[in-house]
Structure 1
Amino acid sequence: MGNVSSDTIFNCWVKTGILPSTSDNDITNVMQIQQDILDNEVADTNQLIEDLSVASDNHLAVSLADASNDFCDLEEEILTEDVLNENDIIKLIQEEMNEENNNSDDSEDELVLVSLDNATKSLQTWVTFFEQQEMDEFKKEDVRVFKKYLKTLHELKMQTKKQVQITNFFS
């Protein structure tokens, strides 16, 4: 089986004509064609309105002129979607979360689950803080209770890392 160069693959895709062109000239030409089509449609609509206004009464002509103005307003670019940056996305999510919290009466009753890693880090921080205190209210012998729980958390963490035999997953 022979090797096919990336240039050959690229040229095949270009030859199909199904990919949009990326050259500035082609893009400018397409934009000009679209603008010409829009201009022709506006001119045709204006001609129809003029022909109808000549043939009908004044009231209809005013209504048609209003319709023409509305149609011409459509030439202006209307943004339907904004491109959001990271800050905009974060702000939208925070607003949505705040709305959910405000709409939910059960939000205070929800139990927040603390991960084993977070519990270990928090307890380690507490032990370090406790050991640094020089006040009488922080008795050095009391730190052993916290260290006992820290050791228990480390043991739990090690158990979660133990490899399980594949046969445990089958009945």
Structure 2
Amino acid sequence: MAAPYVDDHTLRAHAVVYARRARAQVEAFAEADQRQSTAFMHTKHRESIGTLDPGDATTRFTYGRVWDLGTEHYLAFVLLAQVARAVDRLGLDVPAYPGPLPIKLLRNLDEHWDEIDGSALRALRDLEPTVARGQVWFGGGLVKIGHATTEELLAWLDGVDSIVRAAAERAGKPMPSDDDDVDLSSQ
């Protein structure tokens, strides 16, 4: 027998919290990508003109930048998967996740980094033969996570937030806004 799920109000609360945090994480990923791209271009320029000046810390292409981008990428997948899970459990009519690859498989691919030929990688390769571990797609100046642009992800997250909040209103249990004070008298 499947374990019971939490009540709808708790699911809605998690969907809103995860959508809000996922939005911030997708933005953090895009910012880390921009920093890395800028540093990469500065480094390539310095190499092309033969300068020995390594540049200042903001324009150097370093392992730390690569690691930061990978971490921001992974954390975005974790949060996006939590949003998808809450939305799935609620059964609300929300727009589909914008990428063609299932977010849970993408998250599992990064999460199970130690599995050389794990089930997530095999399942993703059935859908997209070129999928590789730790892959971040770029194109046309847009960062893509799992074949969905950051702009598409942000729009999806905003849509989820709006639809879940409307459902909470209809249920008579509206979700607080970011700026609402926590009522400590009920704690």
Q: Compute the TM-score of the two structures, normalised by the length of structure 1.
A: 0.26
More strand by share: 2
Which structure has more relative contact order (CA 8 Å, sep 6+)? It is 2
More helix by share: 1
Q: Compute the TM-score of the two structures, normalised by the length of structure 2.
A: 0.24
